[in-house]
Structure 1
């Protein structure tokens, strides 16, 4: 919900009410004040597209000058005929240098690393942390799309203090992440710069239709053990959701599983609770499935146990959570 809440920062007073956009994106209004609220990537992408359309700004009120509809398309078109990724990224930095006065990118190559950094030339209009997160992901997502390969970040530097939602960075940047740095930047293996551009104009339409989902969320599930644990839980939670069952299914001991998860900055119960929380939120907001059925699907002994756990995760009961969504949609 950090990404949703901060997306509304800096919008003009004439913008439609926040509840209007949340309802159209299928996001429960209760989530606005839920400290651990969760939305799907698709819900966030739909909300982003709604704001882009209404404001005619593909970076909705991030900067002093709006990026009108079609800007992202022109950016990608300018890069598609580049001979390799390095030339494409040079064009990328030049494009934003021409368009914006208060923001630009700085690209450099040294010691086997290609580094894309953000530069602020004036105070940003929208939420600074969100802008840093999204504009760095824009570079990362477009670069990965251009060479048709997931680019693993080696180092992520953040020019801000560690935010409360930093646990989600595991899904976006499966490398080293450092906070309180002089610049926000991402470093990747410089050998990737020689990779040819593999995308065509014919493929650009689908990429743009899915924006910002396809550049905001470049999944690295195959690189993270925590994702493999979630995948197993998604398939077998009700019958084999214990740490012993999961370790056996992944062909390792419980101790080895725990050690690898610790290296990723998490532990088994946290991964299990995150999966159950996200499943419950989606079931409550995107279906009419009875509460008892949700509880059983998540492996809870009874509805009371599910309700206690859900209140711990979100600060409210499952029934109140669903009611808030229904009320919000009815109002709008």
Structure 2
């Protein structure tokens, strides 16, 4: 089976932060990791990577274990079915602004830790999570996942990936901050006064386009369709990543890539810098993620994988992969098969 996907992977540092915040006993998390197709030992290896599908499977398992759609992240659990009935209440809203206003009332009924605030009076609108006076302080992961849920559902409702002017988080910059490049379609800032999304007000006037029939498929795939939304139309780094994936195993220079993407080489480097990355980093992360996909989902020989990813030898592939993850490809594949 050939895997040509350029989908990003998720760092175990991020997975570990999520599992820790969900307060599930280590022994239980180990069992759930195995059920999701991940070796429990990977949780202690920050350099390891897992696929989006594996992370989504783990999230669903923790939801079932905790009987909570935001597992133990808030003072009151969101029982399974909360997201479904929330979305049902939004489907007949005449615009996204009305839908988000309704959602703020639903959240007020469901939990006591924060309020959803919508400011649509300015050209740049703000959707914020404000702590309830006297309420429990929200964990950073709780704010992250709730904000991602709001953005993912909002994008789904209008059937369009909503680009963001910026994303603010009230907590300090975590060690895995690089993961947010793939989770949010806009620059992310930390240590801000309030956790919030900033977007053009015109998006809030867009009509809600989804139906009850479409909602069933959206929920069946949850959390994939709200956590891992594709934003390749907005980010140049994603467009570059997809272009490089199509050209493998042939090497591509920054100059050639700029021509293919219809920008100057200088603009390519500048915009990648604005997105918090670089040409070499995009190239390395693409090959790393494709290697993880192949090692966990296929039985291709190491030499074949190295050749498909554009390495001149198996040895150079081994050195690069160990630099990316801390493990050799063989050890990494062995752990995946063990799981």
Taking structure 2 as the reference length, the TM-score comes to 0.89
Q: How much has 1:262 moved relative to structure 2?
A: 2.1
Please, which of 214, 218, 226 is the counterpart of residue 237 of structure 2?
Answer: 226
Q: Write the mapping of 1:1-332 to structure 2, written as runs, cut at 5 A.
A: 1-11=12-22, 17-121=28-132, 122-124=135-137, 128-327=139-338, 329=339
Q: Provide runs of 4+ in structure 1 moved above 4 Å.
A: 10-16
Which 10-residue stretch deviates more, 227-236 or 7-16?
7-16
Call closer, same or farther: CA 1:176–1:12 in 2, change over 3 Å: closer
Residues in 2 aligned to 1:49 and 1:143: alpha-carbon distance in whole angstroms: 21
Alpha-carbon displacement from aligned partner over 1:219-267 (angstroms, at most 9, x marks no partner) = 2101222112111221112123333442343344433432332232211
Unaligned runs of 5+ in 1: none
- By how many angstroms is 1:301 displaced? 1.2
Residues 87-134 of structure 1: per-residue CA shift (max 9 Å, x gap)? 111110111111112233222223213211112343357xx2211111
Q: Could you say what the CA RMSD is over the residues aligned between the two structures, in angstroms?
A: 2.0
Q: Which stretch of the first structure deviates more once superposed, 297-306 or 114-123?
A: 114-123
Please give the secondary structure, in 2, of the residue aligned with 1:238.
coil
Q: Deviation per CA, 1:187-225, whole angstroms, max 9, x where unpaired?
A: 111222222211111111001011111111222101222
Deviation string, structure 1 residues 137-156 (Cα, Å, up to 9, x no partner): 11111111111111111121
Q: Normalising by structure 1, what TM-score?
A: 0.91
